[in-house]
Amino acid sequence: VARLDLAATAVRTRLALTGAALMITGYGGSWLLLHVFPGAADAIGASTSTGDGASVWWSDTAGYPSGDTPAWLMAASPHSESTLSILGNTGAAIMAVTACLAATDALPRLQSLARPVIAVGSMSMTAYVFHLFGIRFLGIEELPGSPLHVLLGFIAAAMVFATVWSRFQQRGPLEWLMTKSTGLARHLP
């Protein structure tokens, strides 16, 4: 996606349609499979109905996948890491990118307000690696996760760091290092 001409309307349209198709395939396919195969939802400890609140095809209330049953391959629930989950999540990410591009085009002032988010996006590898070090440093590796204030702290720290760094450098520190190290490969026979 990053290598596409995101300024072209045709590219954006195709991306939006691709994102929607992936979401429908992933999430809709999971919903359909769990309703077509009797007992599949029960095999993974959840119900497909919304009446009891546990809907495994989109919610993480059913728990996490186990290797006990192949029925988990039909789930698209968060962190299930199933093919359907990956398809649906990829589609959602593509849709989010196209929606953000459309919003910043429609409202030019929004682009200046989004500058900290854009700065983090320009050094996503650095932000991700520092995030992992922060989790380890704070000792918060356990699921289901940390309190909201920790998440907000991570977001604020990443935005502040990226915004300040981007004023002086075009790339993030790890992105710069990756560019330099892969540039050496051009000189290999």
Q: pLDDT digit string (tens) for 84-134?
A: 989 999 999 999 999 999 998 899 899 889 999 999 999 999 999 998 998
Q: Is the pLDDT of residue 46 over 60?
A: no
- Identify the weakest region by mean pLDDT among 25-39, 56-70, 87-101, 142-156: 56-70
Ramachandran category for residue 79: left, alpha or beta (phi over 0 → left; psi -120 to 50 → alpha): left
Question: Quick one: which of 164, 153, 151 has its CA closest to 115?
Answer: 164
Tens digit of pLDDT for each residue in 153-165? 999 999 999 999 9
How high does pLDDT run on average in the chain? 83
Confidence band (pLDDT; 50, 70, 90) for 54?
Answer: very low
- Quick count: other Cβ atoms within 10 Å of Cβ 23? 20
Sorted by where each begins, the domain ranges of the chain are: 1-107, 114-189
72 near 65, Cβ under 8 Å? yes
Token pair 């186990």 in the structure block, residue: 66
Residues 101, 5: Cα–Cα separation, whole Å? 12
Structure confidence at residue 188 (pLDDT): 76
- What percent of the chain is modeled with pLDDT above 70? 84
Structure confidence at residue 51 (pLDDT): 44
Residues 16, 98: Cα–Cα separation, whole Å? 6
